[in-house]
C-alpha cells in the first residue's frame, strides 16, 4: 500500500522528468521488482563512478506543489523541534534536512504505528494522513543538509585510543615481573599470556578489593582503572602464547597421572575452555606450586580448589606443577577488536560512503547530531528501537565503538541525495 505508493511516486517522477530517467536507484528498484523494501546491493559500489556535477538535489516528492504542502505542514508542526530548515539546534532532536525520503517516510509510519516509540514523535504524527506523511518526508528530503559539522557537536567527542595499544601502555610497568608480552622469565612470577581476559580482569579486581590477598599486587593495581584493566587483559590475551622461560623441577609423568581430577575443569592439557577457570599450560612452575599450597593452606580463598588440594602432598604439588608448566599454552578465544576505520567500512556498506547513503530507504548518517547518533545506537542495542539489521550490527559494538562511530559520522560532510546516471548504450 504505502510502500507501493512511494514506488509509484518514484515511477511518476521518472516518467515526469525524462532527463533524469536513468537514475541509478530507480533502475535498480525496477530490476528489484518495484518493491521498495528489497535491498539493492549494487548501489554503494555504483556510486564510485560519481563525477563532480553528477549531483542533483533530491526531489522525491510528486510535484512542487506537494513539496510546498509538506513545507506548510513542517512549519506548523515540526519546525519547533526540528528547526526551520530541518536543521536541529535542540539536543536529542535529529536533523532532517536532506535525509533520504523513503527512510523518512518509513520512520514516520513507524512512529505512527508505535513500532518506533518516542512520545514527542508519536504525538506529532498521530493525526496526520498518509498523504501528509509522504509530503512532509519529501519536503525534508528536498532541503540542503547541514553544512557545518560544528552544529553536530562532534568536536566534544575525541576519538578514543585503540584498546590494545592502551592496554600495552598501561601494562608497561608489569613487564619487569610478568615478562615482556606476559611471558614470565622470573621463577615465582606468573605468566599472563594464554589466560582468558575475563579471568585476568577478575583476578585483578580480586587483588584490588582485597578478596584475593596479596599486598603488593593490591598496591600495584590501586591506581589502575577498570577501563585500563579491561585493556590490559585484552593486550595480554592477544599476545602470542609461549611457555614461561623458567625451570620446571618435578616428575612430569607422575604429574600427568595425577591430573585426572583436574582435567574436567582445567582442560586436558591445562588449556581451559571456561573463562572462569584459568588455563595452566605453560604457566611458571614455581607460581603453580605456590598457588596450590595457598589453596591448601587457605591463604588463597577458593572453596573448590581448597577441597581438591586437601589430599595432595608436597610431591604431588611439584609433579602437577611440572607437568602443567611444560604443556603448550594456547591463545584464548578472543578476537582483536575492529578499529573505528574498520567499523566504518562495514557501516558504509549500507549507509554509503562516509555515511552518505545512496539508497532512499537507508538513512544518511553524515553530519547528524552526535548525541542523537549515540542515543540511537544504544536504542538498537537495548532493542528500544527495533531493526534486524541494526540489532545485529550494534550488539557487537563496545561503548567506545559507539562513541567513536557517533563522533566519526557527525564530523562527516553531509551530501544531498546523489543520482548516478547509468552509462548510455
Q: Which of residues 226-265 bind ligand HEC (CB under 6 A)?
A: 232, 261-262, 264-265
377 binds ligand HEC (CB under 6 A): yes
97 binds ligand HEC (CB under 6 A): no
Q: Rounded to whole angstroms, how far apart are CA atoms 179 and 176?
A: 6
The answer to whether 412 and 351 have CB atoms below 8 angstroms apart is no
Residue 160: name the closest of 228, 61, 60, 255 by CA: 228
349 binds ligand HEC (CB under 6 A): yes
Q: Is the dihedral of CA 323, 327, 333, 335 positive or negative?
A: positive
**Segment contacting ligand HEC (CB under 6 A): 19-27, 57-65, 112-120, 416-424?**
112-120
Choosing from 154, 291, 407, 420, the residue that interacts with ligand HEC (CB under 6 A) is 291
**What's the grid cell of residue 305?**
580448589
For ligand HEC, the closer CB: 146 or 376 = 376
**What's the grid cell of residue 280?**
595452566
Choosing from 200, 248, 271, 281, the residue that interacts with ligand HEC (CB under 6 A) is 200
Q: Rounded to whole angstroms, how far apart are CA atoms 164 and 337?
A: 8
Residue 144 contacts by C-beta under 8 Å, 6 or more apart in sequence? 57, 85, 97, 98, 416
Choosing from 17, 84, 91, 92, the residue that interacts with ligand HEC (CB under 6 A) is 92
Choosing from 29, 40, 44, 78, the residue that interacts with ligand HEC (CB under 6 A) is 78
**Segment contacting ligand HEC (CB under 6 A): 56-64, 327-335, 348-356, 410-418?**
348-356
The answer to whether 71 and 61 have CB atoms below 8 angstroms apart is no
37 binds ligand HEC (CB under 6 A): no
For ligand HEC, the closer CB: 80 or 298 = 80
Residue 255 contacts by C-beta under 8 Å, 6 or more apart in sequence? 316, 318, 319, 320, 321, 322, 323, 324
For ligand HEC, the closer CB: 178 or 381 = 178
> Closest approach of Cβ 195 to ligand HEC, in Å?
6
The answer to whether 10 and 24 have CB atoms below 8 angstroms apart is no
Choosing from 13, 381, 385, 411, the residue that interacts with ligand HEC (CB under 6 A) is 385
One character per residue 114-133, x = contact with ligand HEC (rule: CB under 6 A) = --x-x-xx--xx--------
> Closest approach of Cβ 421 to ligand HEC, in Å?
25
Rounded to the nearest 5°, which phi and psi values hold at 409? -70, -35
340 binds ligand HEC (CB under 6 A): no
Binding positions for ligand HEC, 134-173, rule CB under 6 A: 136, 171, 173
Amino acid at each position: 500500500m504505502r510502500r507501493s505508493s512511494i514506488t509509484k511516486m518514484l515511477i511518476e517522477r521518472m516518467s515526469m522528468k525524462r532527463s533524469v530517467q536513468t537514475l541509478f536507484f530507480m533502475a535498480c528498484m525496477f530490476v528489484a521488482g518495484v518493491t521498495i523494501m528489497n535491498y539493492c546491493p549494487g548501489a554503494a559500489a555504483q556510486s564510485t563512478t560519481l563525477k563532480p556535477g553528477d549531483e542533483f538535489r533530491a526531489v522525491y516528492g510528486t510535484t512542487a506543489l506537494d513539496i510546498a504542502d509538506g513545507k506548510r505542514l513542517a512549519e506548523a508542526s515540526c519546525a519547533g523541534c526540528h528547526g526551520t530548515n530541518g536543521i536541529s539546534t535542540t539536543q536529542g532532536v535529529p536533523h532532517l534536512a536532506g535525509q533520504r525520503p523513503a527512510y523518512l517516510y518509513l520512520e514516520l509510519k513507524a512512529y505512527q504505528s508505535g513500532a518506533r516509540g518516542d512520545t514527542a514523535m508519536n504525538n506529532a504524527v498521530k493525526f496526520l494522513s498518509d498523504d501528509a506523511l509522504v509530503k512532509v518526508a519529501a519536503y525534508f528530503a528536498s532541503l540542503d543538509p547541514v553544512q557545518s559539522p560544528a552544529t553536530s557537536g562532534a568536536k566534544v567527542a575525541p576519538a578514543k585510543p585503540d584498546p590494545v595499544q592502551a592496554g600495552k601502555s598501561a601494562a608497561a610497568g608489569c613487564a619487569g615481573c610478568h615478562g615482556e608480552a606476559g611471558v614470565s622469565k622470573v621463577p615465582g612470577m606468573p605468566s599472563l599470556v594464554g589466560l582468558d581476559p575475563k579471568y585476568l580482569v577478575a583476578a585483578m579486581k580480586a587483588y584490588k578489593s582485597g578478596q584475593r590477598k596479596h599486598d603488593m599486587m593490591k598496591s600495584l593495581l590501586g591506581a589502575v582503572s577498570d577501563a585500563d584493566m579491561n585493556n590490559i587483559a585484552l593486550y595480554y590475551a592477544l599476545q602470542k602464547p609461549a611457555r614461561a622461560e623458567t625451570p620446571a623441577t618435578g616428575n612430569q609423568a607422575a604429574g600427568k597421572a595425577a591430573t585426572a581430577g583436574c582435567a574436567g575443569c582445567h582442560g586436558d592439557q591445562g588449556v581451559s575452555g571456561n573463562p572462569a577457570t584459568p588455563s595452566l599450560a605453560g604457566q611458571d612452575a614455581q607460581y603453580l606450586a605456590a598457588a596450590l599450597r595457598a589453596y591448601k593452606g587457605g591463604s588463597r580463598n577458593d572453596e573448590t580448589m581448597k577441597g581438591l588440594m586437601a589430599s595432595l602432598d608436597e610431591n604431588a604439588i611439584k609433579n602437577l606443577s611440572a607437568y602443567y608448566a611444560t604443556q603448550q599454552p594456547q591463545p584464548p578465544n578472543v578476537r582483536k577488536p575492529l578499529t573505528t576505520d574498520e567499523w566504518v567500512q562495514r557501516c558504509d556498506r549500507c549507509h554509503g560512503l562516509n555515511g552518505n547513503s545512496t539508497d532512499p530507504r537507508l538513512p544518511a548518517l553524515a553530519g547528524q547530531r552526535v548525541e542523537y547518533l549515540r542515543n540511537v545506537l544504544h536504542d538498537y542495542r537495548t532493542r528500544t528501537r527495533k531493526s534486524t539489521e541494526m540489532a545485529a550490527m550494534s550488539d557487537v559494538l563496545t561503548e567506545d565503538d559507539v562513541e567513536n562511530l557517533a563522533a566519526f559520522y557527525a564530523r562527516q560532510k553531509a551530501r544531498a541525495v546523489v543520482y548516478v546516471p547509468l552509462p548510455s548504450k
